[in-house]
Structure 1
Amino acid sequence: MVILVEQKFAIITDIHGNNAALSAVLNDIDCDPNINHIYCLGDLIGIGHETNEVLDQLFSRNDIIYVIGNHDEAVLDILSGKEPESVGEEREHHQWVAAGLSSEFLPKLQNMPKEHRETIAGKKCRFIHYHMDQNLHFLPIDHRPTIDRLDELYQDAPADIICFGHHHFIHHFRSNQGLYINPSSLGCHQHPLAPYAKVKIGESGEIDVSFIEVPYDNKAFLLQFEKENVPAKDFILKNFYGNQHLDFI
């Protein structure tokens, strides 16, 4: 007879070089002694300018499992001399991030897998950055996700809980096939909030999901885009942060 023990874990994703938001979320997670582990679902870097600060804070911990995201891949491609999938202003931004990335963080970034699978409290869990094709290439964002579409994507490799990010909106879908969770982007928000999720699996197999938004002071982070002359800063500040920096000028 297998005796199940209640397990609780946190999901963070799409930090996007925002160390101020990351600090707020990790502080919140650390206040919950019942959280056994943190799963980070990619895009640690890119968009935000606090690349090394984010990686230093994350890699200094021993309670986080990672999968790689598309922005992480693009920066690594540039550093290895490959052609990244990004083009235009986005590629210029990735080149800027790559130029400032401290080499001490490269081994851990390079060893991040595309997915992580683990059985937690009797539940089969799959952690990915986003949906992928058979060649492990990320699919285009589905802006109108449905339960039927998600079930179709994972019908050949079902899991009880599938966690992903990339699309910066909360997903919480349940079907007979599985539970799909996306906590939204931790580092990119139209307000000074940093989202993440907690998942608790009870002794009887019940699953409780909590979506949390942690408030933080983003003034210094937003104003630094201009000081650092971050490539594509106008596009980034408008589309990923809702031009919040204008409130501080």
Structure 2
Amino acid sequence: MKIAIITDVHGNYPALKAALAEIDKVHVSHVYCLGDMIAIGPDSNQVLATLFNRKDVSMITGNHDEGVLALIKGQPHPMSHKDVERHHQWIAERLDPSFVEKLAVLPRVIETSLLGHSVLFTHYHIRQGKLNAPFYEDPLSPIVQPSLENMENLFKDCQQELICFGHHHPLHYFRGKHSLYLNPGSLGCASEPYAPYAIVTLTPKKIEINLRKAAYDNRNFLASYKRLNVPDGAFLIKAFHGNQSF
């Protein structure tokens, strides 16, 4: 059994298109998208249309998805995300209304069993007692640096054999004594024109991880930040796209 893991598309349609083109050639059973489909990049509607139109994709929400939804629904926006509130508002004003309720009913976690292996899909670790807390209460744990020790401490209350997540954009891939921790890296926010994702192969006896990067031409996408007057566009390109030229 093969599944694909993608996360943090962040409104980057060309990156998503490139990754899915490669994934479709592998003939996976399912694609799991681990949140932050929208915001940062300006292609939120194209990204959501692509993902919601596929029957083989399961999605969970991330902090940017929930931040945009909070503004659309007139709910409080957390102080922890004050620096991106103006950008979230820009995304909210341009989001196709048909996606609002579809996003609103997505879960924060998916817990399942695949060929006898227990699996957790989550955007990041959720603090104890905060699974159903409103977004303004900051349910996600603070980000820690990638290391096996940090992952084991962060997810110490999670007993699944495979724990897949996103949120922190660098690659995380660690095998501990009891769990395998996997974050393939942000698909839409990278310092090179590549879209990271992972193919997970499961058999009743083992789990194998194949980390991949889909190459794509990102010049028009990067130029769209200026063309569309995305708030703080120059900063976003520097902070989330390695200040690549276009």
For residue 107 of structure 1, the aligned residue among 95, 101, 114 is 101
Name the residue aligned to 1:55. 48
Point out where structure 2 has 5 or more consecutive residues left out of the alignment: 132-138
Name the residue aligned to 1:218. 218
Name the residue aligned to 1:177. 178
Q: Partners of 2:172 and 2:203 in 1: how far apart? A: 21
Name the residue aligned to 1:233. 233
Within the alignment, does 1:167 sit opposite 2:161 as a pair?
Answer: no
Instruction: Kindly provide the CA deviation profile for residues 54-89 of structure 1, in whole angstroms up to 9, marking residues without a partner as x.
Output: 11111110101111000001000000111212213x
Contact 1:151 1:177 in 2 (8 A): no
Q: Partners of 1:140 and 1:73 in 2: how far apart? A: 17
Using the TM superposition, give the Cα deviation of residue 152 of structure 1 relative to its aligned residue in structure 2, in angstroms: 2.9
Q: Partners of 1:78 and 1:96 in 2: how far apart? A: 10
Instruction: State the structure with more CA Rg.
Output: 1
Using the TM superposition, give the Cα deviation of residue 206 of structure 1 relative to its aligned residue in structure 2, in angstroms: 1.3
Q: Partners of 1:79 and 1:207 in 2: how far apart? A: 40
For residue 29 of structure 1, the aligned residue among 16, 23, 26 is 23
TM-score norm. by structure 1 comes to: 0.92
Name the residue aligned to 1:87. 82
Secondary structure, counterpart of 1:52 in structure 2: helix
CA RMSD of aligned residues (A): 1.1
Name the residue aligned to 2:63. 70
Q: Partners of 2:63 and 2:127 in 1: how far apart? A: 14
Secondary structure, counterpart of 2:197 in structure 1: strand
Once superposed, which parts of structure 1, at least 4 consecutive aligned residues long, lie more than 3 Å away? none
Point out where structure 1 has 5 or more consecutive residues left out of the alignment: 1-6
Within the alignment, does 1:142 sit opposite 2:135 as a pair?
Answer: no
Instruction: Kindly provide the CA deviation profile for residues 115-164 of structure 1, in whole angstroms up to 9, marking residues without a partner as x.
Output: 00010011000000011101131111112x33233223333331000000
Secondary structure, counterpart of 1:155 in structure 2: coil
Counterpart code for 2:164: C
TM-score norm. by structure 2 comes to: 0.93
Counterpart code for 2:76: E
